[in-house]
Each structure stands twice: as structure tokens, then as C-alpha cells.
């Protein structure tokens, strides 16, 4: 029998990709914010009990890093408490839970890639609430895979790729932070990796329950990421600046590269280098032609 798969945050960057890619592997119930508000505990319980899924993939999150500083209660409900409720309900119905977290649980003081058990010390409300969510899942003690990732971009939503593309069309010069280092990840590559884990069988995935770092390889500053997006064009010029020159209400870690050895050992594959994946993403011209023009603006969310 095909498993029932509940995907929350189905309208988001990863959620959108998951819904399409999981379809051959089960009956997918795509719950976007309009149909399931993750800030409403009763709605979460009702959704899971109604769906009776074998797999829950929680791709929903409050990802507006700057806005979270002024909306900590809502960010806490969605990122901190909803994952625990989903984990409870997954345990109750015998489902596997897959959840995503972030490199922003770290303070960025490291100089080498963070392993899963490195001490956490989030610098902003978003990171603190995501850490709360990880802990809530761990406390439930059911079958859950938590994938920490970083710098997610894609062809829809609000993200750095689309912001740089828009600004590149408007300006001669882009001033981009060069003293924050991390790894860009295409939402589709993350969804593909998730589906590959699921496709190997839910019991096998459940046996590997735990916390993993899931990321492309390599590293980049935001400035290098922007340069790679702009490519060899004469314009715009990409000018490196410091974080101090671009102050925002949310502090961000200076270093967020995640060590992915544990994931590779458990699941037997690694993600590609980030530049290779970016090239694959930007080559997806068909979709780009079809995406809605009003859906993107502002800056990278995470």
C-alpha cells in the first residue's frame, strides 16, 4: 500500500519541491499555511489525526530572520512548539517525522565545519526558536530525522538568488557582505535528498532516526554567492562589504559551514558542490519563465 505523506509548509521553497517529488512515493497531502496554521496546536493535532500519515515532512517554518526579532512569540510557536506537537502526533500514529533545522543554531565562531554535536548558541530569535524545535522533537523520542541545512534558495519565494537577480537588473553595483561564510543550498537538491532517504524505505529511514547535517559541499561568502549568480557579466559589479557596513536587527553567524559526514555515512550519498547545484538551478529556464512575477522581493530569509 502507498503510504500517506503529510507535507506541512507545502507552499515554501522546500515544501513546494517536496510535494512534487514525493508524489510517486505515496499519497501526498500538501498542507500549506492556509490549510494548516502551525501556530495553532489544535489544528496540528486535527490535521495529523485526520490524515493518519505514515510520514510527516515538516517543511513549514517562520523563516523571516529579521522579522522574527519583533515577533518572537509567533516564531516560537511555529519553529519551537509546532515541531514538538508534530513529533508527539507522529509517535502516536507510528509515523516517521522529517524536519528541517538551520546552521543558525550555531554562533558562527568556528573556523571548521560544525559537526552535529557541536555546542549550539544561536545569535538571533530565529535560530533560538529553531533550536527549541529540535529539542522538542528530541524530547518526544519518536522516530524523527532532523536535517539541519543552510542558505536555502530556489526559483520561488524569498531568497538570495532571486534578490540578487532582481537587483542585478536594476543596479550597476551590488554591495554584498563578504565576512559571513556558509553554503548555499538549492531547495530542490534538499528535497531530492529527502526523497532519496524516503525511497529507501520508511523502516530503514526510521532506524536512522536522529540529527543530521544535510548540505551541499564547498563554502562561500554571500559576496561569492552573489558573484556566482551574476557570473561573468560586466555589470553589475559585485563589491565586498563587511557585516558592520550592512547592519540588520538580527545578528547572523559569521561561519555556518555544516559537516555532512554523519549524513553520508548513514544514507550512503552526499550532495554536490554548491556551484554545480547553482548552475543546475539557474539552467531550469522553463520554470523561471513560468514563475509568477509578483512573488519575490526583499532579502534572503535565512
| Dist CA 247 CA 189 (whole Å) | 31
Q: Does 301 bind ligand NAP (CB under 6 A)?
A: yes
| Closest residue by Cα to residue 116 from 274, 280, 265, 224 | 265
Q: How far is the CB of 231 from ligand NAP (least distance, A)?
A: 22
Q: Does position 129 bind ligand NAP by CB under 6 A?
A: no
* By the rule CB under 6 A, 60 interacts with ligand NAP: yes
H/E stretch holding 203 reads helix 202-207
- One residue of 21, 30, 37, 57 binding ligand NAP per CB under 6 A: 37
Query: Which of 14, 181, 191, 228 forms a contact with ligand NAP (CB under 6 A)?
Result: 14
Catalytic site includes residue 104: no
Q: Measured between alpha carbons, how far is 191 from 9 in angstroms, rounded to an integer? A: 13
Binds ligand NAP by CB under 6 A, chosen from 100, 186, 225, 274: 100
Closest to 130 in 3D by CA, of 198, 60, 182 = 60
**Residue 180 burial (10 A CB sphere; 0-12, 13-18, 19+):** buried
Comparing every residue's Cβ against ligand NAP, the nearest one is: 12
Asked if 187 and 123 count as a contact pair (C-beta separation under 8 A), the reply is: no
Shortest distance, position 64 Cβ to ligand NAP, whole Å: 8
Is-contact 271 193, C-beta < 8 A? yes
Q: Considering the candidates 62, 100, 114, 126, report the single residue annotated as catalytic.
A: 126
Q: Per rule CB under 6 A, is residue 59 in the interface with ligand NAP?
A: yes
Q: Which is nearer to ligand NAP, 203 or 290 (CB)?
A: 290
Q: Which three cell numbers stand for residue 64?
A: 523571516
Tell whether residue 13 is a contact of ligand NAP (CB under 6 A): yes
How far apart are alpha carbons 230 and 237 in whole angstroms?
9
d(CA 166, CA 89): 41
Options 112-120, 150-158, 194-202, 219-227: segment touching ligand NAP (CB under 6 A): 150-158
The minimum distance between CB 32 and ligand NAP, in angstroms, equals 6
Which residues of the chain form contacts with ligand NAP (CB under 6 A)?
9, 11-15, 33, 36-39, 59-63, 78, 100, 102, 130, 149-152, 157, 187, 301-302
| Catalytic site positions | 126
Amino acid at each position: 500500500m502507498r503510504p500517506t505523506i503529510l507535507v506541512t509548509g507545502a507552499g515554501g521553497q522546500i515544501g513546494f519541491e517536496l510535494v512534487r517529488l514525493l508524489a510517486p512515493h505515496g499519497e501526498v497531502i500538501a498542507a500549506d499555511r492556509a490549510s494548516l496554521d502551525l501556530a495553532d496546536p489544535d489544528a496540528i493535532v486535527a490535521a495529523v489525526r485526520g490524515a493518519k500519515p505514515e510520514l510527516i515532512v515538516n517543511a513549514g517554518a517562520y523563516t523571516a530572520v529579521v522579522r522574527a526579532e519583533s515577533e518572537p512569540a509567533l516564531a516560537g510557536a511555529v519553529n519551537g512548539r509546532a515541531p514538538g506537537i508534530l513529533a508527539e502526533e507522529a509517535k502516536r500514529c507510528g509515523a516517521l517525522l522529517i524536519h528541517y533545522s538551520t546552521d543558525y543554531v550555531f554562533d558562527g565562531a568556528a573556523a571548521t565545519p560544525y559537526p552535529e554535536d557541536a555546542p549550539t548558541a544561536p545569535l538571533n530569535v530565529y535560530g533560538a526558536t529553531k533550536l527549541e524545535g529540535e529539542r522538542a522533537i528530541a524530547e518526544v523520542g519518536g522516530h524523527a530525522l532532523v536535517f539541519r541545512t543552510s542558505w536555502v534558495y530556489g526559483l520561488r519565494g524569498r531568497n538570495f538568488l532571486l534578490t540578487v537577480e532582481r537587483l542585478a537588473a536594476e543596479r550597476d553595483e551590488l554591495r554584498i557582505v563578504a565576512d559571513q561564510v556558509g553554503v548555499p543550498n538549492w531547495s530542490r537538491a534538499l528535497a531530492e535528498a529527502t526523497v532519496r532517504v524516503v525511497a529507501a524505505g520508511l523502516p530503514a529511514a526510521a532506524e536512522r532516526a536522529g540529527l543530521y547535517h544535510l548540505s551541499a559541499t564547498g563554502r562561500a561568502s554571500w559576496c561569492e554567492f552573489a558573484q556566482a549568480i551574476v557570473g561573468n557579466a560586466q555589470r553589475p559589479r559585485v563589491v565586498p562589504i563587511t557585516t558592520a557596513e550592512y547592519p540588520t536587527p538580527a545578528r547572523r553567524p559569521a561561519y555556518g559551514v555544516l559537516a555532512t559526514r554523519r549524513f553520508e555515512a548513514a544514507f550512503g550519498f552526499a550532495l554536490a558542490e554548491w556551484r554545480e547545484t547553482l548552475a543546475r538551478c539557474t539552467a531550469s529556464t522553463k520554470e523561471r519563465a513560468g514563475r509568477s512575477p509578483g512573488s519575490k522581493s526583499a532579502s534572503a530569509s535565512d
